[in-house]
Amino acid sequence: MDTKPAGDRRVRRTRAALRRALVELTLEKGFQAITVEDITERADVGRATFYAHCRDKEDLLVGIVRDLAEDRERLLPAVRQAHAQGFTGLPVKYIFEHAEQERPVYQVILRGEGDGRALREFTELIRKRAEAAFRDRAAQLGATPRIPLDLVARAWTGELVGLLSWWVEGGTGYSAAEITAHLRDLSVYGRVWATGLAPSDAPGALDLMP
């Protein structure tokens, strides 16, 4: 999928139409069930034109996801600078807000449509950021973690992706700010604080308690 600026208006229009059609159809029938003709029909574009823009369905999806990530990253420095310096992580609330604006695409990604590559790449991006942020801060403070930071980063990424997948489908009743706050409190202070349940009540505790 081309991601050049696309100077020609015709190119911009057909590309936008194809992408829009793919996202719509994916949410309706699932990525797998879609045929190229479905897409071109919905986009009102000749089938040959489709192949002038991308190799196949997957390629089209990759382009969408890549541009979404660029869009997200593009505004990041501004957001970051508005708060503090030296912070290398992605502000969580900003991710939720971005997902709110681009809900359909986030749904497609987080559902794991299209062989799940998009979701894996999204997750990896978050994970790397989180791990870098943890390491930076640990180095600054000279703190000695009780649990390896790579493991902490993976677990935290799992929490974020899990909640985001849920939230983006709608119906949770939380605002971006609310769910962000909950996620932070839970991950920072733990389940004992969050629920008042003693450790022995945790799933899996059976194997760990005397």
The amino acid at 89: G
> Is 36 a residue that touches DNA (CB under 7 A)?
yes
Rank residues 37 and 70 by Cβ distance to DNA and give the closer one.
37
Locate tokens 């879609």: which residue?
A: 34
> Is 3 a residue that touches DNA (CB under 7 A)?
no
User: Angle at CA 51, nearest 5°, toward 48 and 54?
Assistant: 155
State the nearest-atom distance from the C-beta of 16 to DNA, in Å. Answer: 10
State the nearest-atom distance from the C-beta of 121 to a copy of itself, in Å. Answer: 12
How far apart are alpha carbons 117 and 119 in whole angstroms? 5
State the nearest-atom distance from the C-beta of 138 to a copy of itself, in Å. Answer: 6
Rank residues 46 and 201 by Cβ distance to a copy of itself and give the closer one.
201
Stretch that binds DNA, among 53-61, 90-98, 101-109, 154-162 (CB under 7 A): 53-61
CB 94 within 8 A of CB 113: no
Q: Which of 94, 103, 128, 175 binds a copy of itself (CB under 8 A)?
A: 94
Locate tokens 């870098």: which residue?
A: 132
> Is 207 a residue that touches a copy of itself (CB under 8 A)?
yes
Stretch that binds a copy of itself, among 16-24, 41-49, 66-74, 140-148 (CB under 8 A): 140-148
User: Angle at CA 107, nearest 5°, toward 103 and 112?
Assistant: 155
Say if residue 54 is exposed, middle or buried (CB neighbours under 10 Å; 0-12, 13-18, 19+).
buried
CA 34 to the chain's CA centroid: 23
Q: Which of 27, 49, 66, 165 binds DNA (CB under 7 A)?
A: 49
53 makes contact, choosing from a copy of itself, DNA, none, with CB < 5 to 8 Å by partner type, with DNA
Return all residues near 136 (Cβ < 8 A) that are at least 6 apart: 86, 88
Chain residues in the site for DNA (CB under 7 A): 7-11, 13-14, 35-37, 44-49, 51-53, 55-57
